[in-house]
Amino acid sequence: MFKTKNLTLILIGIMLFSLLLTVVGITLPISRKSDKIEEAGSQSMLSGDAIAIAMGHYSATSLRLLQEYPSESSAYRSLCGLLERMREHYGFQNVYTVTRNNMGYFYVLDSQYVQSETGSYHPISSEFSFDVYGKEVKQLIDAIYDGNSTGGFVSKAIRSEDGTFIVAAAPIMDGDKVLTVLCMDISLDDIQFYKLWFINFNYVSWICGTLFVLSAG
């Protein structure tokens, strides 16, 4: 009788401990994902703001002409090359500029021009579609153009055939006017939300969940 009672208490203890670890194994990666996305977005904005300010200061005339008279000119190739170097240096998935006018939303520059054989390149004046990017990115771009935002990032992850990423955006100014919006796709594929040091919480939640079911039975 005494041994049976002790065994029951031990099983209850194992069951409760397993349940606790299962909950931690599920909730901690979610919390870490939010933190890591916030960190990635904030860090990207630091570099994005600096590049956008520099392009507005040194390249406003070239960008304005490219928007008025789209062509793959030497200025276009040079500016796309600049975005490609930015993409490589900061590890972005893609860097490009989007312009809004009364006809819609259109690409101007695209870092993928340098490696356009990949198929991810969007030519100048091609339509920027929100089918992939979603309404949150549209709201951010509109807020920048309408003067309600000085830039930021969308924390909602976007999934496409190129991977999972978030989008950050900063205005390129021509004086007091928004000339175009510099956008950065920030890959999340290499960020392991479910790991902390050497602990893989996917395994922890699976093992503890199994242990909880066995002890409850």
- Correct CATH for 48-187 of 1.20.1050.10, 1.10.260.40, 1.10.10.10, 3.30.450.20: 3.30.450.20
What gap in Å lies between CA 205 and CA 35, rounded to an integer? 20
Residue of 29 and 148 predicted with greater confidence? 148
192-201, pLDDT tens digit by residue?
A: 555 554 455 4
CB-based contact 186:167 (threshold 8 Å): yes
Q: How confident is the model at residue 164 (pLDDT cuts 50, 70, 90)?
A: confident
Those residues with Cβ within 8 angstroms of residue 201's Cβ, 6 or more apart along the chain or in another chain: 24, 25, 26, 28, 29, 194, 195
Scan for tokens 């070239």, then name that residue: 62
What gap in Å lies between CA 144 and CA 83, rounded to an integer? 20
36-85, pLDDT tens digit by residue?
A: 778 888 888 999 999 999 999 999 999 999 999 999 999 999 999 999 99
In this model, does residue 114 exceed pLDDT 70? yes
CB-based contact 192:167 (threshold 8 Å): no
